[in-house]
Amino acid sequence: MHKHPSALGVATALKPAAPVTLIRPQAAARAARFFAEKFPGRSLYAVKANPSPDLLVTLWESGITHYDVASIAEVRLVARTLPDAKLCFMHPVKAEEAIFEAYHSHGVRTFSLDTIDELEKIMRATNDATDLELCVRLRVSSEHSELSLASKFGAELGETRDLLMATRQAADALGICFHVGSQAMSPVAYTNAIERVRAAIVDAAVTVDIIDVGGGFPSLYPGMEPPELEHYFTAIHRGFESLPVSYSSELWCEPGRALSAEYSSVVVRVERRRGKELYITDGAYGALFDAAHLGWRFPVALLREEDSAADLEGFSFYGPTCDDMDHMVGPFMLPDDVKVGDYIEIGMLGAYGAAMRTGFNGFTSDAVIEVEDEPMASLYAEPVPARRLATVIKLG
């Protein structure tokens, strides 16, 4: 692994023609310690947000012992990288072969489901195992989140009673889980979802061993500055404590974004300028999927030895492929004298950015460099470095 003191150093010393992913293990470690110490229960890392083995090791070393995996490839990856980690297979619709291999070859005992069909599949694949932890996924609202997860998975109110009773019969430990959607901008999302859990427990009259409030914990992006994470933890703790099963059950959460967003950023070069449009070396098929498809604005900084004195202006980006859809509308705020050959750091791409890079059109890059400077924004830095904070406020 190459190391450099800073993003600026990478741009000026290496002048990379292809995008470079910068990683900041110290930022991911800080996020992991925050969850391990402050969440009032157990935190599972949702591997899909960023499956980089280096990140997995960093999180493990900082206190994250449980991993939420969703595919057999993720099961194998984490089992290989962290042999002592506990894996929880939390995709409600799995291939029977995947369940079989997870149970028999990798020691996975925790599975989620949202239908009787899936319960039967799990029982078949594990030969009616008696040591299963089975989590029934409830459908809850995504109304407080920037990214909905409400349509695809989750048992409806009318279905939960039979499903919870049948799963209780089959499971050694019964869990209830949900996901409020990603980048949840208010703790109320969790309070409301826990009310759904209460209604389901009362209706089915079952004892429950695990309450898993899922992911959705936000990170910090321009225009999306959430309340402090402690407020989320307080709301969840309060909701959990008020459930009739709290005295005998464990509380879990599954953060993906919140543990990985600050871990990486990308350094790109400007290849062309057309008015307020910049043609850069990474895009929708690289680490900027969410900027292209969701219109998310990420923090940006011009990487020049001498800071530009020009006013900030809003720019949009084109990625490197020949496709019109490779377009990030922004606005990304940069000094108005930005020009061809300049380097730009695009921040907060550790979650669902670096992980989604494709090789489309031949534009890809596996260059990764570890840097020691602070991420462009942080929910965990104490105190937030002044230059970085100023950047975020100006951009927001």
Q: Which residues of the chain form contacts with ligand PLP (CB under 6 A)?
A: 46, 48-49, 68, 90, 179, 182, 214-217, 254-258, 351
Q: Please name the residues in contact with 390: beta carbons below 8 A apart, sequence gap of 6 or more.
A: none
| Least distance between ligand PLP and beta carbon 177 (Å) | 7
| Least distance between ligand PLP and beta carbon 254 (Å) | 4
CA torsion 350-353-359-362 (nearest 10°) is -90
DSSP 3-state of 262: helix
| Least distance between ligand PLP and beta carbon 247 (Å) | 26
Residue 132 CB burial class (10 angstroms; 0-12, 13-18, ≥19): buried
Residue 155 is classified by DSSP as B
Q: How far apart are the first and last CA of the chain?
A: 33
| Least distance between ligand PLP and beta carbon 137 (Å) | 8
Q: Which is nearer to ligand PLP, 255 or 347 (CB)?
A: 255
Q: Between helices 157-170 and 116-125, what is the axis angle to 10°?
A: 20
What is the rounded distance in angstroms from the CA atom of residue 132 to the CA atom of residue 225? 39
3-state SS of the chain: helix, strand, coil percent to 5? Answer: 35, 25, 40
Q: Which is nearer to ligand PLP, 69 or 270 (CB)?
A: 69
| Least distance between ligand PLP and beta carbon 226 (Å) | 12
How many CA atoms within 13 Å lie on the side-chain side of 39? 26
Decide: 300 and 348 in contact? Cβ < 8 Å.
no
Residues forming a β-bridge with 370: 3, 23
| Least distance between ligand PLP and beta carbon 108 (Å) | 15
Q: Which is nearer to ligand PLP, 94 or 269 (CB)?
A: 94
Q: Which is nearer to ligand PLP, 237 or 276 (CB)?
A: 237
Q: Which is nearer to ligand PLP, 110 or 249 (CB)?
A: 110
> What tokens were used for 222?
């321009």
Residue type, 395: L
Decide: 395 and 297 in contact? Cβ < 8 Å.
yes
What is the rounded distance in angstroms from the CA atom of residue 315 to the CA atom of residue 305? 21
Q: Which is nearer to ligand PLP, 89 or 103 (CB)?
A: 89
| Least distance between ligand PLP and beta carbon 352 (Å) | 7
Q: Which is nearer to ligand PLP, 90 or 113 (CB)?
A: 90
Q: Which residue is nearest to ligand PLP (CB)?
A: 215
| Least distance between ligand PLP and beta carbon 209 (Å) | 18
Q: Which is nearer to ligand PLP, 49 or 132 (CB)?
A: 49
